[in-house]
Structure 1
Amino acid sequence: MAESKKVYTVPEKRPSSKAPRVGNRTSYSLAVVGDVTLRKGASPASVGAAIVVLAVVYLASGRLGLELAHYQTNATLIWPPTGLSIAALVLFGRRLWPGVFLGAAAVNFLIGTPVWAALGISAGNTLEAVVASLILTRWLRFDPALARARDVLVFGGAAAFASAISATVGAATLLLAGSLADRDPWVVWVIWWLGDMGGALLVAPLIFVFAKGGPKWRALTARKETWVVLSLTLVGSFAAFAARPGDDSSQWALPAVFLPFICVVWAGLRLGPRGAVGTAAAAATITVVRTGAGFGPFAGTSPDAAMLLSWAYATSIGAVAAILAGAIAERDTAEAARKAEEDQRRALEKQVAHAEELERLGLLAGGIAHDFNNLLMAVQGNVEVLRRSIPEAVDPMVLESMSPIGVATKRAAQLCRQLLDFSGRRSPNAESLSVAESVSEAISLVRGSIPRRVTIEVDVPMGLPRVDADAGQVNQILMNLLLNAGDAIASDAGAIRIVARVIDETAPWSGDVLPTSTGPHVELVVVDDGPGMDEATRRRVFEPFFSTKDQGRGLGLASVAGIVRGHGGAVRVRSAPGEGTEFAVLMPVSECESIIERENAREAPAVLGRVLLAEDDAAVRRVVERALQDIAADVTLVEDGREALEALGGDTPFDAAVLDVDMPHLDGTQVVRALRGRGDRLPILLVTGRPSPRLIALGEAYLEKPFSAAALKDALHEVVAAKASPGSPSEPKISPVVAGYLSARGRQPESKKA
């Protein structure tokens, strides 16, 4: 049997093993011989035991076959050892050939064949099995499961060719030994060839399908139909060969000869390869044995004709069964492939439908968050104005009442950020991050919120490639997963395991959110040994506002999925009741390891001259105007992008501009492109309630709403300072941090270009 060096892994919790390859299917070279397990690389004692067992079985089947010999004691029209030896060498390897030789020699010795003639015949029998197995396994890619009609035809051809070798060697040996007497050598050759081929066609397929075929024995024997077919086959076969020729009942038995064929077809269509071949073997055995005993319609002719007819009948049943078994297996394989493809198509359709649903929810959530951020901007800004304008001596209770408003505003802003995370439209400010450092930081932040009885085990190599990701959002992912795992374990003692590894882009990966980025990824897995989830809960874990907790908004895991989508990564959850839960996240490996640094930045002036503010929302415009009046001598207000572009293109110079991203006519990004396109290096700070990839790709500093007056002042000062730093006039340097936000995803800032 041809051997393959490929390692095949058996299911989890079982040791892997190397498997030889038979044809185009993988077959474990494994046979149980008594208490000895024979496999590739087995000990000499195991191989020797298998050889002895094969020789003994060969001898027993050979003695049975010789009971049918009528023309020459060494030749019979059905020779079962041929099928046995070919099947043994195909299934378990050609190294068992000594068992064939020893068994054949023992058979011939017992019937009085001269020693040298017995050895010659045994060599021919051995050569027959070796050649057949070599043709099948090495050259014709034969599948012993008879899973295709091609395999049946290939086996029939190989058996006919190999049987001719044995017949030629055997007949020639008997002729040279003078053991043929007055018998015709040609007739002996024909009987020998037909007997070996008949044994191969009847016995080998039976062994093949019993070892490799289908369906499973337990399923087959559990069906009532199996026993009905078997009973009809036995009854029909015994009825056909029950009477002696000339008896009154013989004419009534003749029609029963056709019943086994019907049963074989029935078994093949309904019971699969094992049913068809098993039924044929039962019918053929009864036919040959009863004909040899002088019963049945074939016994009424001469002994030679009787045995020839019984051979033709038995081998025809065997051939029909084998061909039918191959056809049925091929049909089942095609049907299984079609069903698998259909299941895969349905799963993909469900996944696409789910993605479209999430897309719609994301659009809705993103729009709500954007508008809500503008409202919060107005609330927060006006509260700050009131706080500064009302002296504490007037009414301390007024200032005290403002504090809950500020806290509520911050919580509402956090909720908006979660909505944007879920929608995937809060674009990350990607930078090259160390996964190990991010894990360590997240653990330090949540350790106090996880019960002490829950241990956290970390297996994250420091040498892992860095990932392109937003540091704050990665922390949010890790904290949500760790807190979720801690909540799942609750008060019980348990463990949370964090594991990370590199996944190649060619590695198969399936999940609830599939990766959209190419190249290698880092897989980060968080596993807990809590109670697990049922399938209904597992399917809904990433839905917004779905939660199994008494407290919580149900946006934690939803935002995880959104953040991962925004990074072009993937996420998967596996869980079952009583088996804990596993979350796996894929993040793209960073293409560059550098972190942008600010170079030679100059201090911005404490007070700016003229600042342009473009904001379409009147309430937000008033709040931002008040904040800018503290750092600018003059603030010019416009309501849309077209007015902003006209004002900036006029004769009055500006020291800086604050532009809202979402405005009518022209949005903030279009204004910036127009200005940069004509070489204007004006310091610009964009403000938005919904960061987007378009904004990130622009390469300008931006500030996310709602923001405080202090954050606005710091951001604007930093933008002005960055523009004032020395550099090429055509390639101004961009500050890397503007209130914690700077675009760096997918490209280096223009100041880093060579």
Structure 2
Amino acid sequence: MTDAAHGQLLGRYATEGLRLAAVAAVYYGSGKLGLLQELVRGQVTPLWPPTGIALVALLLWGVRMWPGIALGAFLVNVTLGPSILPVLVITAGNTLAPVCACLLLRRVGFRPALDRLQDALALVFLGALGGMLISATVGVSVLVASGALTADDFWPTWSVWWTGDAMGVLVIAPCLLVLRFARWPRDVPALRWAEAVALLAGTAGVTAVATHSSVSLLFVVIPFIVWASLRFQLAGAAPCVLIASVIAITAGAEGAGPFDGHDLLAQMVILQTFNGTVSLTALLLSAIITERDRTFEEIEEVCERLTEALSRLEADVTLDEWPVPRPDGSEHRAGPGP
């Protein structure tokens, strides 16, 4: 092996090692943030950001990122217990879930740009709802088997775990993918920036009021998500969903507003119905608008090419020289002469 090839190989290994370390560190840090809103046994939360981070890392850098995910998951769970063996099994479930979700998405031709309706649907049903069944089922089963939870707590805990992991994909992954594929806009009017700021502030304000009101007002957040999707597509809708979900989760953990007076399962139904609704609205509507705009651009391009092709016709070819069908089915060329 030449020195140049050896240097390239070392550089590739170094890059991969840095990526693995970065994935593990971000997984651990986001996991600690997610645990601030824990609802069950100090380790089950209604929003688990590491699942979205792990899935994006696998989609962008490949399945070989799984050791970084496993290391981050282990570091988060080892301090929570209940003992080393259950922690290892939980770590395996937390690693296997995003890996399977990534493989399922690749199987259906998922594009991380999320610019097609089929990509949005795949992320929802395969990446979030389907893939995260693994981590929730493995994790809660281990906690029950180890005696950390009773059998009666299985389904309430499972519902929190599954929806928390799924919301991590639906809320966090689109934001990260937007950061990866979005381009900073140029020559944007000041009014456009003002609209974006007003949209973010309005989403935060309305969500705060809706989640702390004794009257059920959660539905008033939906128009802001629709506004963001129509005007800014996923680049505007994803941050709005993140803001709304974080505020709603905080209110749910406090038992405020519409979450007051309900047991854990009922709180999760209310909270995750809201989170799922805003996430689905943002993802699907943004994808539809993006597809529509792309179709219009393609039509305009085809029209321009057609116009250019017609303009290149020979100057002596006129409309009078085009063949004209006769009543008997034959053709003749119109023009001067008999």
TM range (shorter): 0.7 to 0.9
Equivalent residue in structure 2 for 1:117, among 77, 86, 94:
86
In 1, Cα distance between equivalents of 2:21 and 2:10: 18
The question of whether the paired residues in 2 share the 8 Å contact of 1:240 and 1:296 is answered with yes
CA gap of 1:169–1:302, structure 2 versus 1, over 3 A, is closer
- Is the aligned partner of 1:146 residue 2:107? no
Cα distance in 2, alignment partners of residues 279 and 221 from structure 1: 21
CA distance in 2: counterparts of 1:129 and 1:196, whole angstroms: 10
Amino acid in the other structure paired with 2:21: V
Unpaired segments ≥5 residues, structure 2: 1-7, 319-338
Q: 3-state DSSP class of the match of 1:67? A: helix
Query: Is the 8 Å Cα contact of residues 159 and 265 (structure 2) preserved in structure 1?
Result: no
| Cα distance change of structure 1 residues 40 and 313 upon mapping to structure 2, 3 Å threshold | farther
Q: Which residue of 2 aligns with 1:312?
A: 273
* 1:288 positional shift: 0.9
Is contact 2:97-2:131 (8 Å) kept?
yes
Matched, 1:81 2:81: no
Q: Which residue of structure 2 aligns with residue 470 of structure 1?
A: none
The aligned counterpart of 1:197 is: 166
Q: What is the DSSP-based 3-state SS (H/G/I as helix, E as strand, rest coil) of the residue aligned with 2:87?
A: helix
Q: Indicate if the aligned counterparts of 2:156 and 2:264 stay in contact, CA closer than 8 A.
A: no
In structure 2, what residue type is equivalent to 1:229?
A: L
Letter matched to residue 60 of structure 2: L
CA distance in 2, matches of 1:196, 1:66: 12
**Post-superposition offset of 1:150:** 0.9
Give 1:102 deviation, angstroms. Answer: 0.8
Matched, 1:53 2:14: no
- Among 305, 312, 315, the alignment partner of 1:356 is 315
The number of equivalent residue pairs is 308
Normalising to structure 2: TM-score of the pair? Answer: 0.83
Letter in 2 for 1:351: R
Aligned pair in 2 of structure 1 residues 185, 304: CA closer, same or farther (>3 Å)? closer
> Is the counterpart of residue 129 in structure 1 residue 98 in structure 2?
yes
Q: What residue number does 1:228 align with?
A: 198
1:187 maps to what in 2? 156
Question: What residue identity is the alignment partner of 2:290?
Answer: A
The equivalent of 2:138 in structure 1 is: 169
Give the equivalent residue in structure 2 for 1:347: 308
How far does the alpha carbon of each residue in 1:511-548 deviate from its partner, in whole angstroms, 9 at most, with x for none?
xxxxxxxxxxxxxxxxxxxxxxxxxxxxxxxxxxxxxx
Name the SS of the counterpart of 2:315 in structure 1.
helix
Instruction: Rate the CA distance shift 1:132–1:218 in 2: closer, same or farther, 3 A.
Output: farther
Structure 1 residue 212 corresponds to structure 2 residue 171: no
Equivalent in 274, 278, 284 of residue 235 of structure 2: 274
Tell me the distance in 2 between the aligned counterparts of 1:135 and 1:41: 32
Identical positions, percent: 32
User: Which structure shows the bigger proportion of residues in strand conformation?
Assistant: 1
User: What is the distance in 2 between the residues matched to 1:191 and 1:108?
Assistant: 17
Q: CA deviation at 1:72?
A: 3.5
Where does 1:14-25 land on structure 2 (aligned, <5 Å)? Answer: none
Distance 2:203 2:211 in 1: 12
Matched residue SS, 1:340: helix
After superposition, the CA RMSD in angstroms is 2.5
Kept in 1: contact 2:117–2:288 (CA 8 A):
yes
Shift of 1:42: 5.7
1:144–1:209 CA contact under 8 A, matched in 2: no
Among 38, 49, 60, the alignment partner of 1:69 is 38
Q: CA deviation at 1:272?
A: 1.7
Change (3 A) 1:75 1:342: same
The offset of 1:324, in angstroms, is 1.1
Provide the C-alpha distance between the structure 1 equivalents of 2:285 and 2:137, rounded to a whole number of angstroms. Answer: 31
CA 1:233–1:206 in 2, change beyond 3 Å: closer, same or farther? same
Structure showing the higher helix proportion among its residues = 2
What is the aligned partner in structure 1 of residue 71 from structure 2?
A: 102
1:546-625 paired onto structure 2 within 5 Å: none
- Give structure 1 stretches of 5+ with no counterpart: 1-38, 244-249, 361-754
Structure 2 CA distance for aligned equivalents of residues 40 and 285 of structure 1? 43
Q: Aligned partners of 1:295, 1:263: CA distance in 2, in Å? A: 22
Match of 1:240 among 196, 202, 210: 210
Aligned partner of 2:226 in structure 1 is: 265
Q: Which residue of the partner structure matches residue 246 of structure 2?
A: 285
Question: How far apart are the structure 2 equivalents of 1:316 and 1:75?
Answer: 22
1:324 alignment partner, one of 271, 285, 288: 285
Q: Deviations over 1:335-376 (max 9, x none)?
A: 111111112112222222xx326x79xxxxxxxxxxxxxxxx
Tell me the equivalent position of 1:660: none
Residue pair 2:113, 2:178 contacting (<8 A) in 1 also:
yes
Question: Normalising to structure 1: TM-score of the pair?
Answer: 0.39
Question: Structure 2 CA distance, aligned partners of 1:169 and 1:49?
Answer: 29
Q: 1:169 to 1:295 in 2, by over 3 A?
A: same
Residue 292 of structure 1 contacts residue 307 of structure 1 at CA under 8 Å; is this kept in 2? no
8 Å Cα contact 2:46/2:249 also seen in 1: no
1:180-579 paired onto structure 2 within 5 Å: 180-181=149-150, 183-213=152-182, 216-218=184-186, 223=192, 224-242=194-212, 250-251=214-215, 254-255=216-217, 257-352=218-313, 355-356=314-315
State the match for 1:649 in structure 2: none
Aligned to 1:673: none
**Greater RCO between the two (CA within 8 Å, min separation 6)?**
2
SS at match of 1:43: helix
Cα distance in structure 1, aligned partners of 2:65 and 2:199? 36
- SS of the equivalent of 2:312 reads helix
Q: Whole-Å Cα distance in 2 between the matches of residues 221 and 166 of structure 1?
A: 46
Quick one: which amino acid aligns to residue 50 of structure 2?
Answer: P
Matched residues in 2 for 1:40 and 1:135: separation? 31
Q: Deviations over 1:403-453 (max 9, x none)?
A: xxxxxxxxxxxxxxxxxxxxxxxxxxxxxxxxxxxxxxxxxxxxxxxxxxx
Q: d(CA) in 2 for partners of 1:304 and 1:143?
A: 35
SS at match of 1:356: coil
* Deviation, structure 1 residue 217: 4.5
Residues 285 and 71 (structure 1 numbering): CA distance in 2 closer, same or farther, change over 3 Å? Answer: same
Letter in 1 for 2:199: V
User: What is the one-letter code of the residue matched to 1:334?
Assistant: T
Over residues 378-416 of structure 1, what are the superposed CA-to-partner deviations in whole Å (9 max), with x where a residue is unaligned? xxxxxxxxxxxxxxxxxxxxxxxxxxxxxxxxxxxxxxx
Amino acid at match of 1:356: A
Q: Secondary structure at the match of 1:184?
A: helix
- Quick one: structure 1 residues 67 and 320, their matched pair in 2 at CA, closer, same or farther if it must change by over 3 Å? same
Out of 140-149 and 298-307, give the one that drifted further.
298-307
Shift of 1:131: 0.9
| CA positional deviation for 1:199 | 1.4
Query: Quick check: 1:203–1:281 contact (8 Å CA) kept in 2?
Result: yes
Which residue in 1 is equivalent to 2:60?
91
